[in-house]
Amino acid sequence: MRILTGIQPSGTPHIGNYFGAIRTTVDLQSKGESFLFIADYHALTTSPEPAKLRGNIMTLALDYLACGLDTEKTIFFRQSDVPQVCELTWYLNCVTSVGLLERAHSYKDKIAHNFVPNNGLFSYPVLMAADILIYQSNLVPVGKDQKQHLEIARDIAIRFNTLYNENIFTIPEGYIPDAVAVVPGTDGQKMSKSYNNTIPIFGAEKAIRKAVMNIVTDCTPMEEPKDPDKCNVVALYKLLATPAELEQMKENYRAGNYGYGHAKQALFERLWSFFEPMRKRRAELAENLDFVRDLLKRNAEKAAVEAEKTLKKVRLAVGID
């Protein structure tokens, strides 16, 4: 089974990213032949500053490697280091109807929020389809917001196979893990950079502590009992603590004489210790960026071999061989 995941380079990761995409990717790499790419072409749809994009690409590479990605099990590379994906995108564009792309929820949502669209944003699902299909992917982990784009990729693959009477593309299946919880941000909403409510995985101890201490709680006095099931601090602590540690905190809440400041301090300490091995690994990698760049290049060469196998079949099918 071939598993493919693409991640956009969007800056500093937070613990919501870890308990969502990052941990899922690390867990899945032992389930099959795993491909993970940094989706730098996709990032261009919002015209980021070039220097910032370069920095975000390296940040993402360091973060995933620090958080447990094993390049003996996963082919980890930059999307733009495999140019074959752009060639396949053109072939797929030529069999994709405008109406199919106009129905994309993500595109319509951007328009509704007065986002000035470009053609890259409009045809984003076709590039995503090329990413998936060029490696003959069987399983594609996606968030709920990307589920429709995967369905579009399936439609495009079926359309191409039918039009050219060839079973060239594997029809991919989506994977949305049920176990991934919605990680609350410091304000109680879903943790997201868009809401400015995140707690970073990496960074200065003082900044992370400040983010934890800014978690919104109610005004119940310290001496009074509290409901642990309605507290953002407990919801975050649950992700990091052992069952015994979690139960102890809940008992403290119900007994009273236990303030939210105490709970936040316990959360910070658990958070700091949980990610300590990853911080050390990241610091080591950051001291040897040439190693990281070389690793991405070597992995891209492996990915390109697989991409070229698919493109040879596609070129033959369409008459450009």
Residues recognised as catalytic: 110, 190, 193
Structure tokens at 192: 């997201």
- Whole-number Å distance between alpha carbons of 4 and 20: 16
For the beta carbon of residue 249, count every other beta carbon within 10 angstroms.
23
In sequence order, the 6+-apart residues with CB closer than 8 A to the CB of 316 are none
Amino acid (one-letter) located at 229: D
- Whole-number Å distance between alpha carbons of 11 and 56: 5
- Whole-number Å distance between alpha carbons of 8 and 131: 13
DSSP 90-115: HHHHTT--HHHHHT-HHHHHHHHTT-
Tokens 């905190």 sit on residue: 249
Could you give the residue ranges of the DSSP H alpha helices within the chain? 15-17, 23-28, 40-43, 50-66, 84-93, 98-102, 105-112, 119-122, 124-133, 147-163, 205-213, 232-240, 243-255, 260-274, 276-286, 289-318
- Whole-number Å distance between alpha carbons of 53 and 65: 19
- Whole-number Å distance between alpha carbons of 35 and 227: 43
Is residue 221 exposed (0-12), middle (13-18) or buried (19+ Cβ within 10 Å)?
A: exposed
Structure tokens at 257: 């004489």
Structure tokens at 149: 């784009």
From first CA to last CA, the distance across the chain in angstroms is: 29
